[in-house]
Amino acid sequence: MNEEILSLALRNALIEIKNALPDINWSFILTNDGTVITTEENTVDPNIAKASSSFQSLAEKAGAIGGLDNMLITGEKGKVYVSSINDLYLVAGLAKNADLVYFRTITGAVLPTLLKVLDSVTSPTLTPTPFKPTTPIPYPPAKPTLARPVPSELRIEEEEEEKATEEEYAQPEETEEPETEKLEPSKPQRIEAPRPLENVPSQQLIVDRFSGFMVKADTVQLDADILKRWGALLDLKEIGEVDIETFSGKTARCKAKLINDSKLEGRGLIRIPEKTCQLLDVRRGELVRVKPVTPDESG
Amino acid sequence: MKMPLKKKPLQVEVEEQVDWAPKVEEKREIADLRAACERIKSREGIIGYIIRGPTSASVDIKDPSKIIDYAALSAEAIESCESVSNTFDLGKISNIVLEGKNLKILSLTKGEQQLSIFMEKNVDHSNVYREIE
C-alpha cells in the first residue's frame, strides 16, 4: 500500500473521528515498530515521537501475553487509549470522562474498514499485478550476447534493465514456434509459452531490517505462507529468488529464505539485510513490492 | 483425641517507630496489599500478581515459567505509561489496563509499591481494582 495514500486516508479518518467525538484531545497511528504513520496535525510532534517509542518497547514485551491488543491508561486529568488495528496501533488522548464505549465502537468500525478498503484498492493480493512496466524496447541491445549468466548476488536497477532488454531481444526465437503450430489446426497446442511477466504474482510487504555477522547481504527472509502461495501459483517446488522494488523505483534481486524468527511470521514482513536496505534506500516500516523470480527470468 | 490446630490469622506486627527503620505505616500497607492480592488470586480467572517495591518484590504466578516475561512486561508497562503520562500531562496514573490476545493485566502504583495483577480476559478488572483501592 502506498504510504502517502495510507497516511492521508488515516489522517482524514482521525480528523473525522475527532469531529464526531469531541472527547478526543489528540490521536496518532503508528506501526508495531514504532514508526508514526499519521497524526491529526500532519506533523510528528516530539511528544508523539517520544510516546511512540515507549509504546513500541511495550508492544515488544507484550509478546508474553500474546501481543498488545489494547491498553487504557487512566490518569487524574485524562486517559490514553491504545488499540491494535491490523498491524497498526491507534493511540488517542481522551478527556477524563470520555465515553470509552462509543470511542471503541467508532474507531473499531471505521479504521479497520478503511484499511481493508485501502488494501483492496491499492494492493489486491489475489490479482496479479505487473512488477515493472513491460514496454517493449524496439531497438536491439548494444551487446549481441543473448545468454549471460546471472550472478546470484545482488544487482541494482541498471543491470536488471540491461538484462530485461536482452531477454526481450531473445524472446522472438521462442515465440515463433507456437505461431507456426497455430497454422496447423490438427496439432494440439501443447507447447508451453514462456510465462508472461504479468502473470507473476507480486505483493507489497513491510520492510524489516536485520543485521549480524553471519547475515548474507543477498538473502532476504519472507513468510513461509507467501513463498508457499507463490510456489503453488507458479507451479514451482520452491521460490529461490525474489525481485524487490521500492517506491522510488530501485530494484534488487535476492535469494529468498524463510523468516527464522517465529515472532515475525505472518505479519507481512520482508526482512532485508541492513546493507541491502542501504542500497535500496529503504527504511524499516516502508513498503516494497516483492515478486518471485521464475526460472525463465532467473536464466 | 487430638483437637485440630486452628489456623492463625495473618498478624501484622506493630513496631515502635524509629528513625532508621522503614515507616510502620508503609509496612502495614504492604501487608494489606499482599493480603488483598492473595484474596484476589483465589478468584476464578486470576493468574497471579507481582508487587514490586523499592527494596523487595513479591511474585505469585500460577505458571512459574512465565515469571520473567510477566515481570519484564509489568515493569515496562508502568514505566512506559508513566513516561506517556508525563509527556501528555495526564497527572498521576490511577491504573493501567493492558489487554493482550490471551490475557490482561491491571497495573497500578500504591505508595511506593508497583502492583500488576494478571488475569484472563473475561475477568472484570474494575472489580479487582475496587478491591485493591
Let me know: does A74 contact B96? Beta carbons within 8 Å: yes
Kindly state whether A67 is in contact with chain B, defined as any CB-CB distance less than 8 angstroms. yes
Give domain status of residue B16, yes or no.
Answer: no
CB contact under 8 A, A65 and B73: yes
Q: Could you tell me which chain B residue has the CA closest to the CA of A60?
A: B73
> What nine digits make up the cell of A230?
507463490
CB contact under 8 A, B73 and A61: yes
State the burial class of residue A196 (Cβ atoms within 10 Å of its Cβ: 0-12, 13-18, 19+).
Answer: exposed
C-beta of residue A48 within 8 angstroms of C-beta of residue B74: no
> Domain A157-178+196-298: which topology?
Barwin-like endoglucanases (2.40.40)
Task: Report how far residue A189's alpha carbon sits from residue B56's, in angstroms, rounded to the nearest whole number.
Answer: 80
Nearest CA in chain B to A51: B84
pLDDT > 90: percent of chain A: 12
pLDDT(A169) > 60: no
A3-122 is classed CATH 3.30.450.30: yes
Domain residues of chain A, as ranges? Answer: 3-122, 157-178+196-298
- Dump pLDDT digits (tens) for A240-295: 899 998 888 888 999 998 888 777 887 788 999 888 888 888 888 888 889 898 87
Which 3 state secondary structure label does DSSP give B15?
A: coil
Which residue range(s) make up the domain with B75? 24-132
Instruction: Please tell me the predicted confidence (pLDDT) of residue A110.
Output: 87
* Minimum CA–CA partner of A79 in chain B: B90
Q: Answer whether A64 touches B (CB < 8 Å).
A: yes
- Higher per-residue confidence, B4 vs A152: B4
Average pLDDT of span A56-78: 90
A101 touches chain B (CB under 8 A): no
Q: Taking CB atoms and an 8 Å limit, are B96 and A66 in contact across chains?
A: no
Q: Which residues from A are below 8 Å from B82, CB to CB? A: none
pLDDT computed for residue A213 by the predictor: 67
Distance from CA of A65 to the nearest CA of B (A): 5
**pLDDT at A38 (0 to 100):** 83
Instruction: Please determine, for residue A80, whether its predicted confidence score (pLDDT) is greater than 90.
Output: yes
**What is chain A's mean pLDDT, rounded?**
75
Is residue B86 included in any domain, yes or no? yes
Number of domains chain B is built from: 1
The C-alpha atoms of residue A123 and residue A1 are separated, in whole angstroms, by 6
Interval A187-200: pLDDT, tens: 444 444 444 444 56
Q: How far is B68 from chain A (nearest CA, A)?
A: 9
Q: Is A76 on the interface with B (CB under 8 A)?
A: yes
The more confident residue out of B103 and A237 is B103
Min Cα separation A212/chain B (Å):
25
Residue A39 has pLDDT above 60, yes or no: yes
pLDDT band of A170, cuts 50, 70, 90: very low
Strand partners, A68: B100
Q: What is the pLDDT of residue A73?
A: 95
**B50 within some domain:** yes
End-to-end Cα spacing for chain A: 30
Domain assignment present for B96: yes
| Cα–Cα distance, A102 to A230 (Å, whole number) | 42
Are B100 and A64 a contacting pair at CB < 8 A? yes
- Residue B78: what pLDDT? 93
Interface test with B, best of A26, A65, A80, A85 (most B CBs within 10 A): A65
Q: Please report whether residue B31 resides in a domain.
A: yes
The DSSP secondary-structure symbol of B16 reads P
- Predicted confidence (pLDDT) per residue in A131-156, tens digit: 444 444 444 444 444 444 444 444 44
Q: Is the pLDDT of residue A226 over 50?
A: yes
A contact residues 167-226, partner B, Cβ 8 Å cutoff: none
Q: Which of B76, B96, B103 sits opposite A73 (nearest CB)?
A: B96
Pairing status of strand A24-31 against strand A36-39: antiparallel
pLDDT band at A236 (very low <50, low <70, confident <90, very high): confident
DSSP-derived letter for residue B42 is T
Mean pLDDT of A156-167: 50
Complex prediction ipTM? 0.80
Q: What is the mean pLDDT of residues B30-34?
A: 85
Residue A82 has pLDDT above 90, yes or no: yes
Tell me, yes or no, whether B125 lies in a domain: yes
The CATH number of whichever domain residue B84 belongs to comes to 3.30.450.30
Q: Is the Cβ of A108 closer than 8 Å to some Cβ of chain B?
A: no
- C-alpha cell, B56: 523487595
pLDDT above 70 as % of chain A? 71
In a domain, B15, yes or no: no
- Residue B124, in any domain of the structure: yes
C-alpha span between B76 and A110 (Å, rounded): 30
